[in-house]
Amino acid sequence: MTVADVAPRGAVPAVGQDVACTHCGLPVPRGLVVPDAEQQFCCAGCQTAFEIIHGHGLDGYYAITERRDGPVAATGRTFDEFDHPTFRQMYVRPAGDGLAQVDLYLEGVHCGACLWLVERVPLIVPGVARAELNMRRSLARVVWDDAAVPLSRVARTLDSLGYHPHPFRGLAVETMRRREDRAMLARIGIAGAIAANVMLAALALYSGQLGGMEGPYERFFRWVSLVLTTPALFWPGRVFFAGAWASVRTRTLHMDVPIALALAVGWLRGTWNTVTDTGPIYFDGLATLTFALLAGRFLQQRGQRAAADSAELLYSLSPSTARVVDGSATREVPAQALLPGMVLDVRAGETFAADGIIASGRSAVDVALLTGESRPVSVEVGDRVYAGTLNVSSAVQVRVDGTGEQSRLAKILQQVDESTRRRAPVVQLANRLAGWFVAAVLLIAAATVLYWYPRDPASAIDNAIALLVVTCPCALALATPLAVSMAIGRAARTGILIKGGDVLERLANPGTLLLDKTGTITEARVVLSHWSGADWIKPLVMALEQESSHPIAAGFRRAFEGVEVMEPSLTTHVVGGGIDGMVEGWHVVVGSPAYVEARACRRPGVVMPPSYLTPILVAVDGTIVAAAGFGDPVRTDARASIDTLRSRGWTVRIVSGDHPTVVAGVGESLGLPAADCVGGATPEDKRRLVDQARQRGNVVMVGDGVNDAAAIAAASVGIGVHGGAEACLATADVYLARPGLAPLVALTEGASRTMAVIRRNIAFSIGYNVIGATLAVTGVINPLIAAILMPVSSLTVVLASWSSTTFHADRAV
Amino acid sequence: MSVIFLVVPLATLIVLVAVIGFVISVRRGQFDDLDTPALRVLHDDDTPKHDGARRSTR
């Protein structure tokens, strides 16, 4: 059997007819059609796959046609919004030669074949000059002729290839970062090249001092060192002088002051000694110092970049699409492409993708993300809703007026971004120490000069320089942020995203650990394990539960799969209660016993579930007709993790909105005393518990839901777990990207190890400086030895931070 | 040994050329993305117009 027999779509195409890929059956883009070929392929991946399958004589695979019904990854959207003037204004920039340029974030980029495919877009779409993809960041830069082809056409092509394009939002930040990175890299390169060459000259000089060297040669190498070092100080080293000048102007003593002073004094003295041909030159030390400090700063910047990237993760967690109402139909549109004036359809349990005014419907909105208030606020036509807030109770339509960076959510995310840059108190401590330290060093240097000058003028200057060089506090100010950013970077690789360095400090000391039950301790896989009621009730329950995002609703949907679905009307959701609505003329209430029993009575023949299950009652027209019981399996690693944490001195408590008996049952299985298992807690209760515990010390709140958001925000450290709600993740200080509680153990262990490293670094650099300063002031060491000792101390501390095992992947199960 | 008076400046000149080359390559963005070009070089050069070789030099 040949391929053409079973895949007629792959046969030689007639003109104007769509050609289907022999392997996957998707249409082959016109630019990739090979004329007169029997087999046509939409991408290199398909061709390779076909060759492997064909080569093994497995062509029968292509006879299985069902496979082809669903492989289409394209959304088939029109992307009309890409041609909108507002869109152009926000994302499109001129690229010269009358061309326009846009950066698109592509979904689904994963391998080299994707790169090949995306960069063939100019072949497929005439009018596109270039398409360049950055693999790691999935960013494609498209340069195209605006007059020849609309951007929506390009977007549709990318979409048809299976890469859904979204406009890239953080363009301004990106450009700034890139400029910074390039400048820093150039500086490091120059400083490194100079340092290496000055070192070569220094090697000649040192061996000359040992083995004897003729005067002219020695003088020559001294001049070579001077000529080489001077540009290193005035180009790459300029940042230190600029920093010192800023520090002097703002009257805050900064690390850069002694560095700049040492560089300047060392250079002046070295130049003087070179010209007069007397005494030591310090150029090798100065050049190496410049290089080492710049490299250290670059590493530090990279660490902070990693934190900023995790803030970008929040961008991707904010809703990515919205349903735009277009006449009578609705269509999905990425949130970034929303424009003022569009009308959105937002169902209960969904997050608003843009700021806007309610155009129709009434509902309750959870604004915990914005205000920290956990109680839903009711809204009706004319009220304002904000992007990122949760529509709790029923479907509404919203007229968009603020999108993208104008939305309130974007402003909050900017604050999140800022908080990622906020420094750990311990880093600030190091900076404060450095300030005092600098003042002390400057005073001692002045005293040294005053003391030695009457006795020995030449050694007065030498000793002062030795002091300035040897006490350079870079070990102090470099190693601490380095240790923090290394820990954050390593943690990120093990699936623990930490948004600020201060978190580590607060996690290092045991305190109270409050755990949410559902989704945190348990798997949040709600399983229906008890049902007492007639089958005719099931469709009524499904009608109410089909649109809810509550885990119980998901449990019903899984259990009642295949049950006929009816349209409900007038549905109301009550957080912590249940759902109320009309289905085919029946008044149906599904919810917790307290909620349902307040609205219905009499329960003929309905058997309540056993107490360890979460009970849900169903009432129809005021009569309780069914009872369901949901169980939620405890995570396998929960017991071991909680035991470890308790043995480390943490007080572990469970707070849950679930029924107290359920919570007590879970607590018992985990070996927790009943007093530490709080059930039936409302979001307000959770927050109050956090506030109470805070009076006794550190409180860590771990949760996953919107109902935990307020408690997470109030805690000393808020931790959001894998699969949590957006609001909760946005307020959390730490996000655990892996399921289970084991990462929690790794996090606390890693935090205390990081703090140990920092304390060790600070102790080492203070001890080193005290000894070094004593030796320098008394004239025991000359500036040359000081210049050698200084980088050695920094290097020791840097290596200590580097090699310390704060977080490691293998330990994290 | 006096050849050293000639050789060291020459070596310095070579270093200067290398440094200038490095700075130019950094400014042209050759260090911005270290992952993609390694894959791009594996692709057949079947692009009909070769202005893709003229990299953006912002």
Please count the CA atoms within 13 angstroms of the CA of A646 that sit on its side-chain side.
15
A193 pLDDT more than 90: yes
Give residue A18's pLDDT band: very low, low, confident or very high (50, 70, 90).
low
A12 pLDDT more than 50: no
A150 pLDDT more than 80: yes
Phi and psi at residue A250, in whole multiples of 5°? -90, 0
Q: Which stretches of chain A sit within 8 Å of chain B by CB?
A: 95, 112, 115-116, 119, 122-123, 129-130, 132-137, 141, 178, 181-182, 185-186, 189-190, 193, 197, 201, 217, 220-221, 224, 227-228
Nearest CB to A112 within list B26, B29, B42: B42
Helix axes A551-559, A537-545, angle to 10 degrees: 140
Q: Report the alpha-carbon distance of residue A636 to residue A641 in Å, rounded.
A: 10
Give residue A95's pLDDT band: very low, low, confident or very high (50, 70, 90).
confident
- pLDDT number for residue A14: 38
Nearest CB to B36 within list A95, A134, A193: A134
Q: Report the alpha-carbon distance of residue A46 to residue A62 in Å, rounded.
A: 13
A158 pLDDT more than 60: yes
Cβ within 8 Å, pair B26-A130: no
For B4, the closest chain A residue by CA position comes to: A217
Identify which of A612, A613, A580, A615 has the alpha carbon closest to the alpha carbon of residue A599.
A580
Q: Please give, rounded to a whole number of angstroms, the shortest distance from the CA of A395 to a CA of chain B.
A: 44
CA A418 vs CA A307, A407, A495, A507: distances in Å: 10, 17, 22, 21
Q: Please give, rounded to a whole number of angstroms, the shortest distance from the CA of B13 to a CA of chain A.
A: 11
CA B48 vs CA A31, A59, A120: distances in Å: 11, 34, 11
Give residue A451's pLDDT band: very low, low, confident or very high (50, 70, 90).
confident
Nearest CB to B23 within list A181, A189, A201: A189
Identify which of A710, A340, A728 has the alpha carbon closest to the alpha carbon of residue A524.
A728
pTM of the model: 0.53
Mean pLDDT of chain A: 76
Nearest CB to A135 within list B36, B51, B52: B36
Identify which of A633, A632, A615 has the alpha carbon closest to the alpha carbon of residue A624.
A615
| Higher pLDDT pick, A408 / A134 | A134
Q: Which residues contact A628 (CB under 8 A, 6 or more apart)?
A: A528, A530, A531, A532, A533, A556, A609, A615, A616, A617, A618
Q: What is the mean pLDDT of residues A293-310?
A: 63
% chain A with pLDDT above 70: 75
Cβ within 8 Å, pair B8-A182: no
A230 pLDDT more than 90: yes
Nearest CB to A186 within list B26, B33, B52: B26
Place of tokens 């140990």: A756
- pLDDT number for residue A724: 56
Q: Report the alpha-carbon distance of residue A174 to residue A491 in Å, rounded.
A: 24
Any idea what the Cα angle at residue A95 is, between residues A90 and A100, rounded to 5°? Answer: 55
> What digits encode the pLDDT tens for the residues A247-284?
788 776 666 777 788 788 888 888 998 999 887 787 88
ipTM: 0.76
Give residue A632's pLDDT band: very low, low, confident or very high (50, 70, 90).
confident
Cβ within 8 Å, pair B32-A181: yes
Is B19 in CB contact (< 8 Å) with chain A? yes
A709 pLDDT more than 80: no
Cβ within 8 Å, pair B47-A123: yes
> What digits encode the pLDDT tens for the residues B9-39?
999 999 999 999 999 999 888 887 777 777 7
| Higher pLDDT pick, B55 / A339 | A339
A76 pLDDT more than 60: yes
| Higher pLDDT pick, A463 / A307 | A463
Give residue A2's pLDDT band: very low, low, confident or very high (50, 70, 90).
very low
- pLDDT number for residue A722: 66
> What digits encode the pLDDT tens for the residues A371-409?
434 446 778 888 888 877 778 777 888 888 877 666 666
Give residue A62's pLDDT band: very low, low, confident or very high (50, 70, 90).
low
Q: Report the alpha-carbon distance of residue A333 to residue A342 in Å, rounded.
A: 11
Q: What is the mean pLDDT of residues A440-444?
A: 83
- pLDDT number for residue B24: 93
Cβ within 8 Å, pair B52-A186: no
Give residue A126's pLDDT band: very low, low, confident or very high (50, 70, 90).
confident
